[in-house]
Structure 1
C-alpha cells in the first residue's frame, strides 16, 4: 500500500491512497482458509465424540451377536422338529374325497414347516381332475392349510363310457352320472377342444339365473345356432354367444307370452310362435 501526500498539505487538499488488491485478496484467502480449517477440525472432533472407538466396538459386537442368534434360530427351525407339521387342514371339498387329496399332498411326517414347497404341493392337488385350483398355506406353529376350489359341472354330454361332465371353463373333468339339474349338451363333436361346445357353455353362462334351472338341454348345431330346451318343452332360440347381455334382458319378459318357440337370437326383433 502506498500513500502519497505529506504534512505540508492543507486540510482541504485530497490525499491519494492506493491499495494493492493482491495483498487484500491474499489476506482474505488466508482468513478463509483458517476459518475452513477450523470448521473441519470441529466437525471431525464432533464426529469422533459421537462415535468413540469403544462405542463402535460395542455396536459391532452386538451386531455380530444378533446375527449369530438369528442363524441359530433359523437352523433350529429348519433342521429340528420344533416347527414340524402336526396338522394338515383341508377346506373346500364337496365331491373330491379327502383321502385322494391327502394322497397327493405327500408332506413327510415331522418335516419342518419352513421346508415345505407350498407351490409344488398346490400344483399336485390342482392336478386332480375335479380340482380347478388349490392354495397351500403355512399356519404357524404347526398347521398346513389346503384350500381346494373344485370344478362344478354346468353341462354333460353322453358318450360310450357314460356321461362326460363339463365345467364353466369347458373342461371335461369326469365321467360319471351328472348331478340333478345339470343340462345335457347335444352337439356333433362334444369335447373341451370343440368350438361349438365352448360356445354352448358360454351361452349357458349368459342365461339369467332365474331361467337357468329351467334349462334341460342345450342343442348346439354351430357356434351361432344354439337353442335351449326348457324342462316344460318350450324352446328358446339363442343364436351365438354374441350380444348375450341384451338377449338375457329380453328373454324373461318374452317367455311370459303364449307360445312354444321364443327366438331372441336378434334381440331387436324377437319372435314368438
Structure 2
C-alpha cells in the first residue's frame, strides 16, 4: 500500500504547526500572562510592605470625641491604642472591648481608622436616669438598668430612688412576688419614661410596692404613677395634665386614660 504523497505530508505538517502568525500570537499571549503575573506578585509585595513594613502608614495620634463626664485622656489611656504600630494591624474590636470593660460609663464607642496616621474614638456615654444611694455616695443607673458608676455628688436633674416597701400588706406581697431587684428595675423604667420637663424637676422616685410608685418634684409637687406599665401613655397624660392644671400640686396618672389633679 502506497504511503502519503509529498503534498499530503506538507498539508498535515502545516495543519499541526499552524500559520506563523498564530504561533507568534500564542507566544505574545504567553509573555503577556507571565508579565501580568510577575506584576501582580510585585504589586502585592509592594502593598504588603507599604501597609506593614513602611513608616508611612503607622499610628501617630489618637483623637477622642463625644465625652462629657469622662476626659479624652481617660479614654485614650483605657483604649491603649498601640502608637507606632501599622494602621492596618490595629485591632479595632479589641480597643472597643477594652473601653467598655475599663470604662462602664461608655455606652457605645466607634473605633475608626483615619488614614494615614490617626485612630478616632467616637464615644457615647451612658446617661443616668436614677440614682441609688450607696452610703454617702450615689450609684448612677441608665434607662437600661445598668449600674455604671459611683459618684460622691448627685448629678443635677437626676432623681434618687427611695425604696420604702412595707413589710406588711401590698408591700410585703410585692417583695415576695417580685423581689427588690425587680422593684428597682420598675423604678428605673419609670424614670426613663418621664417627660423631659418632668425629669429635670424630679427629685425622688419612691417605690412602696409594684403598683405604687410615685414622684416628688423639686417644688414639692407629687405624681402618683402607679406601676411601671404603660409608661409612655402615662408620660403623655402627665404632660397634658400639667398644661391643663398648671397650679395643681398633685397629679395622678396611675390610670392614664383617667388622669386627675388636685390642690393648688
**Which shifted more, 260-269 or 86-95?**
260-269
Larger radius of gyration: 1
Superposed displacement of residue 121, structure 1: 0.8
| C-alpha contact 1:196 1:221 (8 A) present in aligned 2 | no
What TM-score, normalized to structure 1? 0.74
Q: Is 1:214–2:214 an aligned residue pair? A: no
Q: Is 1:186–2:162 an aligned residue pair? A: yes
Superposed displacement of residue 57, structure 1: 2.9
1:101 and 1:268 mapped to 2: Cα distance? 47
**Structure 1 counterpart SS, 2:240:** helix
Give the equivalent residue in structure 2 for 1:243: 230
Please list every run of 5 or more consecutive structure 1 residues that lacks an aligned counterpart in the other structure.
1-40
Give the counterpart of 2:182 among 195, 210, 214. Answer: 195
Superposed displacement of residue 211, structure 1: 2.3
What TM-score, normalized to structure 2? 0.76
Superposed displacement of residue 234, structure 1: 1.7
Give the counterpart of 1:77 among 33, 43, 51. Answer: 51
| C-alpha contact 1:215 1:229 (8 A) present in aligned 2 | yes
User: Aligned pairs, how many?
Assistant: 226
1:268 and 1:169 mapped to 2: Cα distance? 26
Superposed displacement of residue 259, structure 1: 4.3
**Structure 1 counterpart SS, 2:155:** coil
2:32 and 2:52 mapped to 1: Cα distance? 30
Q: Is 1:124–2:113 an aligned residue pair? A: no
Give the equivalent residue in structure 2 for 1:100: 74
Give the equivalent residue in structure 2 for 1:225: 212
**Structure 1 counterpart SS, 2:145:** coil
Give the counterpart of 2:112 among 137, 160, 166. Answer: 137
Give the equivalent residue in structure 2 for 1:63: 37
Change beyond 3 A, Cα 1:172–1:188: farther
Please list every run of 5 or more consecutive structure 2 residues that lacks an aligned counterpart in the other structure.
1-14, 166-179
| C-alpha contact 2:52 2:86 (8 A) present in aligned 1 | yes
2:81 and 2:261 mapped to 1: Cα distance? 60
Superposed displacement of residue 99, structure 1: 2.4
Aligned CA RMSD, in angstroms, stands at 2.6
Change beyond 3 A, Cα 1:269–1:73: closer
Structure with the bigger RCO (C-alpha within 8 Å, sep 6+) is: 2
Superposed displacement of residue 244, structure 1: 2.1
1:52 and 1:66 mapped to 2: Cα distance? 21
Superposed displacement of residue 129, structure 1: 2.4
Give the counterpart of 2:88 among 114, 117, 123. Answer: 114
